[in-house]
Amino acid sequence: MSLNTTEINRLMNRFDSHASVWLFGYGSLIFKADFPFLERRPASITGWSRRFYQGSHDHRGTQEAPGRVVTLVPEDDAVCHGMAYLVTPEEFAHLDHREKNGYLRLAIEMTFGDGGTAEGIVYIATHENAAWLGPASERDIARQIAGARGPSGPNSKYLLELARALRALGKHDAHVQGIEAHLQEFLQSEKG
């Protein structure tokens, strides 16, 4: 599959007739909502784990030195916490462009903090896309993140902002926090 998934995502018309749609964010969408929304609520999805397995050639890295950003991988009984945004379908043109580096829209059931549920959309990058980097040790992921920088800034800022946003939500993510700990070591050693 091509690096640019914009056209593929435009074909998903499941929610086009809806006045509004819930969007689940689990990465930068938690801390960087650069789009208008009607409502914002903490939410979670089950059966998925957040992982730094996706390459970023367009935001947090380059073609020559890709950064790493999160995607979701299936995992039985896992719960992934994030932020849900109620948006109008018109916002998907912007979101499709923002998430074009290998991410595809997927319909998903989300659960809100009060126990209510809703069907909505999440963007997921699978191993079938050209930017997929896949698993690596948390230390190796942190090392790659420490050295990557793209048009949206240092890859390390993405990781640190995500870890901070999850703490603000009161949610623990062992994968994110493990990589963050290694990144802090690398950043300290750079300072000398």
Please give, one letter per residue, the 3-state secondary structure of the chain: CCCECHHHHHCCCCCCCCCCEEEEECCHHHHCCCCCCCEEEEEEEEEEEEEEEEEECCCCCCCCCCEEEEEEEEEEEEEEEEEEEEECHHHHHHHHHHCCECCEEEEEEEEECCCCEEEEEEEECCCCCCCECCCCCHHHHHHHHHHCEECCEEHHHHHHHHHHHHHHCCCCCHHHHHHHHHHHHHHHHHHC
Residue 21 is predicted with a pLDDT of 94
Residue 184 is predicted with a pLDDT of 94
Residue 5 is predicted with a pLDDT of 54
Residue 16 is predicted with a pLDDT of 61
For 109-142, letters b (16+ CB in 10 Å) and e give ebbeeeeeebebbbbbbbeebebebeeeebeebb
CA pair distance 153, 61, nearest whole angstrom: 8
58 domain-assigned: yes
1 domain-assigned: no
Catalytic member of 39, 64, 91, 99: 99
Full domain range(s) for residue 162: 6-191
* Phi, psi of 133, rounded to the nearest 5 degrees: -105, -30
Residue 44 is predicted with a pLDDT of 98
Whichever domain contains 171, its CATH number is 3.10.490.10
Domain count for the chain, please give it.
1
71 domain-assigned: yes
Residue 1 is predicted with a pLDDT of 47
68 domain-assigned: yes
Q: Whole-prediction pTM value? A: 0.89
Q: Note down pLDDT in tens along the chain; length 192 residues.
A: 455 655 554 555 655 666 899 999 999 999 999 999 999 999 999 999 999 999 998 889 998 999 999 999 999 999 999 999 999 988 988 998 888 888 888 999 999 999 999 999 999 998 988 899 999 999 999 999 999 999 999 999 999 999 999 999 999 999 999 999 999 998 888 776
Residue 190 is predicted with a pLDDT of 76
CA pair distance 124, 15, nearest whole angstrom: 17
Assess whether 109 carries a catalytic annotation. no
Residue carrying structure tokens 């935001």:
59
